[in-house]
């Protein structure tokens, strides 16, 4: 109730003061004439208006007072009206501010929704491209062909060929060293092999050097190791070629392997490097690297889950020993998912592979 009275009161006062002010103006105008008419018959010796001098002063004072009162009432009315208008303007401004704030909030919400929609579309586009690339790579792997081998068997054969090339280099160096420095021990070795079941050298005439050299060069030390032939020379070869494998010989072997298998595996390797580049250059992996997070490692997990153990090893050797792929060796470290998946049982050069892979994983001797 009181709130309604407060709202109506200024309006009432405006009207009251306005009416009073307006009424006082004609009253002030008429007041001199009314007083003259009243006192005209009551003042002695009144002939002209000048005889009303004292009365005039009174009338003047009265008129001014009325006009002043009228001015005050009208001024009050104006002040109240202005206050009312100011309040109305203030309310309009407050309403405008509220509307502006609401508009800003709506714009911010719209911006956030647009950003979310944009991020969703980007991720959907990224995932569509990624899964298409993985599918294409899987199809390319199934289509691999070399001689009579298909698919993953080509990968297995490639690893065996790489290992064979390394053996050929290591065996050649080892055998040349013995033939040059200790020929007599080679003769004794050839003579002793039939007792270990190696019968292909049984017919060798050890008195003829050409036969000894030919038989020795044809010997496959891997077969002797497999058959557990007890010989100092076999143990020395095993130590030379495998226990302390030579990385420079591995480099030579891979170079020969790369030349021979380029036509077979080039599209396969190109497919892998394209996918790794795509992931590494994506804003999602870059964001993880900047923030130290692993929110997007699922894509690499999906990719590597498509690889067979033999494929994993072949990709490692491709990154490690191909001179143009040092970048790939580093990119495969991301999220530490690739190198820990390499199975030790498939290491072709156990001591060297173990050392290099542990370094890539970040394992030290103290760990």
The residue with tokens 């009579």 is 148
- pLDDT in 10s for each residue of the chain, 367 residues: 666 655 666 667 666 767 766 766 777 666 666 666 666 566 555 555 555 555 556 556 666 666 676 676 667 667 777 777 787 778 778 788 777 777 777 777 767 777 777 888 999 999 999 999 999 999 999 999 998 999 999 999 999 999 999 999 999 999 999 999 899 999 999 998 888 888 888 888 988 999 999 999 999 999 999 988 889 999 999 999 998 888 999 999 999 999 999 999 999 999 999 999 999 999 999 999 999 999 999 999 999 999 999 999 999 999 999 988 999 999 999 999 999 999 889 999 999 999 999 999 985 443 3
For 207-231, the DSSP string reads TSHHHHHHHHHH--HHHHHHTT---
The pLDDT, as a whole number, for residue 365 is: 41
Q: Is 132 part of a structural domain of the chain?
A: no
The SS3 assignment for 5 reads helix
- Tokens, residue 216: 């020795």
Length of the chain: 367
Domain shared by 233 and 251, yes or no: no
**At which of 216, 243, 270 does a domain end?**
243
Q: Give dist(CA 151, CA 149) in Å, integer.
A: 7
Cβ atoms within 10 A of the Cβ of 34, count? 11
Q: Give dist(CA 67, CA 312) in Å, integer.
A: 107
CA atoms within 13 A on the CB side of 67: 11
Cβ contact 311:155 at 8 Å: yes
Distance of CA 159 to the CA centre of its chain: 35
The pLDDT, as a whole number, for residue 367 is: 36
Q: Is 138 part of a structural domain of the chain?
A: no
Q: Is 145 part of a structural domain of the chain?
A: no
The pLDDT, as a whole number, for residue 217 is: 93
Which residues are CB-contacts of 271 (< 8 A; sequence separation ≥ 6)?
133, 136, 137, 140
- Tokens, residue 116: 């979310």
Domain shared by 282 and 341, yes or no: yes
Q: Is 137 part of a structural domain of the chain?
A: no
Domain shared by 236 and 186, yes or no: yes
**At which of 209, 243, 277 does a domain end?**
243
* Domain residue limits at 327: 247-361
**At which of 243, 273, 291 does a domain end?**
243
Q: How many domains does the chain have?
A: 3
Distance of CA 248 to the CA centre of its chain: 38
Which residues are CB-contacts of 333 (< 8 A; sequence separation ≥ 6)?
339, 360
Domain shared by 230 and 251, yes or no: no
Total-model pTM: 0.69
Domain shared by 266 and 236, yes or no: no
Q: Is 124 part of a structural domain of the chain?
A: no
Alpha helices in the chain (DSSP H): 2-40, 53-142, 152-181, 183-192, 209-218, 221-226, 232-238, 247-280, 283-291, 298-305, 309-321, 326-331, 350-361
Distance of CA 260 to the CA centre of its chain: 39
Domain shared by 261 and 354, yes or no: yes
Q: Is 136 part of a structural domain of the chain?
A: no
For residue 149, list its beta bridge partners: 146
The pLDDT, as a whole number, for residue 89 is: 79
The pLDDT, as a whole number, for residue 78 is: 78
Q: Is 199 part of a structural domain of the chain?
A: yes
Domain shared by 231 and 187, yes or no: yes
Domain shared by 253 and 239, yes or no: no
């Amino acid at each position: 109730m009181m709130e309604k009275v407060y709202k109506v009161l200024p309006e009432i006062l405006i009207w009251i003061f306005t009416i009073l002010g307006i009424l006082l103006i004609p009253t002030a105008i008429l007041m001199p004439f009314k007083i003259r008419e009243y006192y005209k018959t009551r003042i002695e010796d009144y002939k002209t208006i000048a005889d009303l001098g004292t009365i005039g002063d009174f009338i003047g004072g009265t008129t001014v007072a009325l006009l002043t009162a009228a001015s005050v009432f009208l001024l009050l009315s104006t002040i109240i009206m202005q206050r009312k208008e100011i309040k109305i303007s203030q309310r309009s401004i407050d309403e405008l501010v509220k509307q502006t704030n609401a508009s800003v909030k709506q714009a911010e919400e719209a911006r956030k929704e647009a950003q979310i929609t944009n991020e969703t579309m980007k991720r959907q586009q990224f995932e569509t491209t990624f899964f298409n690339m993985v599918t294409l790579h899987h199809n390319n792997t199934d289509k691999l062909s070399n001689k009579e081998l298909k698919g993953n068997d080509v990968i297995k054969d490639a690893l065996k060929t790489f290992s064979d090339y390394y053996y050929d280099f290591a065996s050649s160096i080892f055998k040349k060293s013995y033939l040059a420095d200790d020929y007599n021990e080679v003769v004794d070795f050839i003579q002793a092999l039939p007792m270990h079941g190696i019968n292909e050298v049984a017919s060798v005439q050890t008195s003829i050097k050409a036969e000894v050299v030919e038989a020795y060069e044809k010997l496959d030390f891997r077969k002797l190791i497999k058959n557990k032939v007890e010989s100092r020379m076999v143990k020395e070869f095993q130590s030379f070629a495998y226990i302390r494998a030579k990385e420079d010989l591995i480099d030579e072997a891979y170079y020969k392997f790369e030349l021979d298998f380029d036509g077979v595996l080039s599209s396969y390797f190109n497919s892998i490097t394209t996918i790794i580049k795509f992931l590494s250059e994506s804003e999602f992996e870059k964001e993880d690297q900047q923030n130290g997070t692993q929110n997007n490692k699922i894509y690499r997990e999906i990719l590597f889950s498509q690889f067979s153990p033999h494929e994993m090893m072949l990709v490692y050797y491709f990154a490690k020993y191909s001179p143009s792929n040092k970048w790939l060796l580093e990119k495969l470290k991301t999220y530490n998912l690739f190198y820990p998946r390499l199975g030790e049982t498939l290491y072709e050069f156990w001591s060297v592979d173990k050392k290099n892979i542990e370094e890539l994983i970040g394992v030290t001797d103290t760990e």
